């Protein structure tokens, strides 16, 4: 059993940014479709590669996050960016017509939804996360793999520890010390990743000792900063109830229910490549390819990279 969780806004905005540097693509009526086409193909390529049993696209709610109540400056700078809502609306409609499950919940981000599914599903099945967000590193373990669009190799717990020198589950503590400039979360002044790891080693990665630590050498740790940041960045403790069940992935197929509506949508936006691949049964799957069988005994974790 394998599951693919897709960070919807992250992949959508990455596609939008990529197309901002490329030749514009649009319909004869001038409707821009480059980012939409790119995002669909990107999501489909990972579904094709991984061949998961279950798929869920997770979206930010679009409204205020509960994190803004904890820290009002959270993502405050992002409000000045351009509004991609029309493009996102078209993408959500495509996924709905194509039979790709998706979810958004009020005051929650995709991070919260993905983390909660991770907590629910973190057992003996492979969980794949498609996102360029480094926050998900903390969820890496022997059953979790992270895919960054554009990277040649996915991230495993083994790769992470080899490259960063500490275990993935300590990433949340490192982030609590460093903060996150992208999300507007200030860290301890003068602390980067190398120093954060040294501080963490000094308390043997003990969360409570880290929260109450007042200084490290010449570095002063402001009271409450680590605890506040940990409440904002720690995904390992998010456990939501009422999430939709992850069911067998069953996309819309030629001649099946909803096919005519899907074709009408693709024709209207002149997404001919996507339509052609759907009609040839090659958008979500590759003809003649089948996933590997699980091989657990006698293999290291990294050897199960594509095992289901």
What is the CATH classification number for the domain harbouring 220?
1.10.150.20
Asked, for residue 271, whether it belongs to a domain, the answer is yes
Q: Say if residue 105 is in the same domain as residue 12.
A: yes
C-alpha span between 39 and 91 (Å, rounded): 8
Name the region of 215 (left: φ>0; alpha: ψ -120 to 50; beta: rest): beta
What pLDDT is attached to residue 301?
A: 33
Q: Say if residue 174 is in the same domain as residue 26.
A: no
Per the structure, how many domains does the chain have? 2
Q: Residue 82, class by beta-carbon neighbours within 10 Å (0-12 exposed, 13-18 middle, 19+ buried)? A: exposed
Alpha helices (H) in 53-140, listed in sequence order:
66-70, 85-97, 110-121
Q: What is the CATH classification number for the domain harbouring 7? A: 3.40.50.1010
- pLDDT of 233 higher than 50: yes
How far, in Å, are 5, 22, 70, 96, 271 from residue 37 at the CA level? 20, 13, 37, 15, 7
- pLDDT of 305 higher than 60: no
What pLDDT is attached to residue 73?
A: 81
Asked, for residue 308, whether it belongs to a domain, the answer is no
- pLDDT of 250 higher than 80: yes
Radius of gyration in angstroms for the set of CA atoms belonging to the chain, rounded to a whole number? 21
Kindly report, residue by residue over 142-156, the tens digit of the pLDDT: 999 999 998 989 999
Q: Say if residue 56 is in the same domain as residue 205.
A: no
5, β-bridge pairs: 56, 129
Asked, for residue 290, whether it belongs to a domain, the answer is no
Q: Say if residue 14 is in the same domain as residue 67.
A: yes
Q: Say if residue 31 is in the same domain as residue 96.
A: yes
Asked, for residue 124, whether it belongs to a domain, the answer is yes
Asked, for residue 94, whether it belongs to a domain, the answer is yes
For the chain, how many residues are written?
Answer: 308
Residue 255 main-chain phi, psi, to 5 deg: 85, -10
Asked, for residue 151, whether it belongs to a domain, the answer is yes
Q: Say if residue 183 is in the same domain as residue 81.
A: no
What pLDDT is attached to residue 85?
A: 86
Indicate the pLDDT class of residue 289, thresholds 50, 70 and 90: very low
How far, in Å, are 30, 41, 140, 196, 258 from residue 262 at the CA level? 21, 16, 36, 50, 6
Asked, for residue 285, whether it belongs to a domain, the answer is no
Compute the average pLDDT of residues 101-115: 95
What pLDDT is attached to residue 182?
A: 86
Q: Say if residue 212 is in the same domain as residue 248.
A: no
- pLDDT of 72 higher than 50: yes
The residue range of the domain holding 265 is: 2-160+244-279
Contacts 24+ apart (CB under 8 A), 255-264: 258/97, 258/99, 261/97, 262/94, 262/97, 262/98
Identify the residue with better confidence: 212 or 124.
Answer: 212
Percent pLDDT > 70 in the chain is: 89
Axis-axis angle for helices 272-279, 259-268 (nearest 10): 150
Give the mean pLDDT of the chain. Answer: 89
Q: Say if residue 52 is in the same domain as residue 72.
A: yes
Q: Say if residue 26 is in the same domain as residue 81.
A: yes
Indicate the pLDDT class of residue 23, thresholds 50, 70 and 90: confident
Kindly report, residue by residue over 168-191, the tens digit of the pLDDT: 999 999 999 999 988 889 999 999
What pLDDT is attached to residue 252?
A: 97
Compute the average pLDDT of residues 190-210: 96
Compute the average pLDDT of residues 236-241: 93
What pLDDT is attached to residue 293?
A: 40
Q: Say if residue 93 is in the same domain as residue 182.
A: no
Compute the average pLDDT of residues 116-132: 89
Kindly report, residue by residue over 42-69, the tens digit of the pLDDT: 999 999 999 999 999 999 987 778 888 7
Indicate the pLDDT class of residue 77, thresholds 50, 70 and 90: low
Kindly report, residue by residue over 95-107, the tens digit of the pLDDT: 999 999 999 999 9
Asked, for residue 304, whether it belongs to a domain, the answer is no
Q: Say if residue 83 is in the same domain as residue 181.
A: no
What pLDDT is attached to residue 75?
A: 80
Q: Say if residue 19 is in the same domain as residue 98.
A: yes
- pLDDT of 298 higher than 60: no
What pLDDT is attached to residue 122?
A: 66
């Amino acid at each position: 059993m394998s599951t693919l969780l897709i960070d919807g806004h992250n992949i959508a905005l990455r596609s939008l940014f990529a197309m901002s540097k490329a030749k514009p693509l649009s319909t004869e009526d001038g409707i821009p479709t480059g980012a939409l086409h790119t995002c669909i193909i990107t999501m489909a390529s990972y579904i094709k590669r991984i061949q998961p049993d279950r798929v869920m696209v997770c979206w930010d709610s679009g409204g205020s996050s509960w994190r803004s109540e904890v820290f009002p400056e959270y993502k405050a700078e992002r409000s000045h960016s351009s509004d991609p809502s029309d493009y996102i609306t078209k993408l959500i409609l495509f996924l709905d017509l194509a039979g790709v499950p998706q979810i958004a919940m009020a005051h929650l981000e995709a991070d919260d939804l993905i983390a909660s599914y991770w907590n629910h599903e973190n057992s003996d099945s492979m969980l794949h996360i498609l996102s360029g967000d480094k926050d998900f590193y903390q969820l890496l373990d022997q059953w979790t793999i992270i895919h960054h669009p554009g990277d040649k190799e996915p991230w495993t717990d083994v790769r992470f520890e080899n490259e960063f020198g500490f275990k993935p589950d300590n990433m949340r503590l490192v982030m609590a010390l460093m903060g996150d400039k992208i999300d507007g979360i200030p860290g301890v002044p003068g602390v980067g990743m190398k120093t954060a790891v040294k501080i963490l080693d000094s308390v043997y990665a003990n969360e409570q000792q880290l929260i109450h630590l007042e200084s490290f050498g010449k570095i002063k740790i402001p009271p409450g900063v680590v605890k506040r940041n940990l409440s904002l960045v720690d995904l390992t403790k998010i456990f939501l109830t009422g999430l939709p069940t992850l069911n067998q992935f069953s996309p819309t197929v030629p001649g099946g229910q909803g096919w005519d509506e899907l074709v009408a949508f693709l024709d209207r936006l002149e997404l001919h490549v996507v339509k052609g691949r759907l009609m040839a049964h090659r958008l979500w799957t590759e003809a003649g390819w089948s996933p590997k069988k699980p091989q657990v005994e006698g293999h290291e974790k990294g050897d199960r990279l594509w095992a289901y």
